[in-house]
Amino acid sequence: MSDAHGTSDHRTSATPAGPQPEPLRFFGTTWVDHSRGYAARRLGVAVGSLAAAVAACLVLRFAYQGLQIAAVGGFVSLLVLVMFAVCSALAFGHTWSSFSTRPDPDRQSSLRGLLSIGFVGSLLAYFFRSLTEAPGEKLRRAEYQQAREEYDRRVTRRSGNPSRKRRRRDA
C-alpha cells in the first residue's frame, strides 16, 4: 500500500528463492546487475588501489634510503630490493589468479608472509582487475549462475503433487 507521500509499505523482499549471490569487498552484491553505483565503486577501487600502491612505493623508498643512510652495504641493499621485487611479482600473480579460481586455504595461509611483503603487487593486481570488472566478479558470477541453474533444475523436477501423478501402464 502507498501512503499520501508515495512511499511504499511493502514488507516482502524482492529476493528470489534459491541461492543468493556472494558479496564482494567494496561492491556487496551490486556486481550481479551493476546497480547502485557499481561504476563509481569500480572507479573508486581503481583509484584507491593505485593510490595505495604509490604510497606504499614511497614508504619502501624511504626504507631503502634508510638502509643507504645506515651504510649497510651494496649487497644488503640489493638483496632487499630483489626481495621486494620478487615478493611483489609473486603476490601479483597469486592475487591475479585468485580472481579466476578459488585459492586453496592451506596454500593461502602458508603464503601469508610472502603476500604481506609483496603487498604492492597485490594492490597493482587489484587496480588492473578493477579496470575491467569488480575483482573476483567473473568467478563469483560463474559460481552463482551454476548454483542458480542447479537450483532451477531441482525445483522444476519437483514441481507438482506426486500423489496426483498418473501411473504409466505397460503396453
Half-sphere exposure of 70 (CA within 13 A, CB side): 9
pLDDT per residue as tens digits for the range 38-64: 889 999 999 999 999 999 999 999 988
pLDDT per residue as tens digits for the range 71-123: 888 899 899 999 999 999 999 999 999 998 888 888 888 889 988 999 999 99
Classify residue 42 by burial, with Cβ atoms within 10 Å: 0-12, 13-18, 19+: buried
Q: What is the rounded average pLDDT for all residues in the chain? A: 84
Helix axes 38-70, 74-98, angle to 10 degrees: 160
The stretch 140-164 carries a mean pLDDT of: 80
Where helices occur in 71-111 by DSSP H, the ranges are 74-98, 105-110
pTM of the model: 0.75
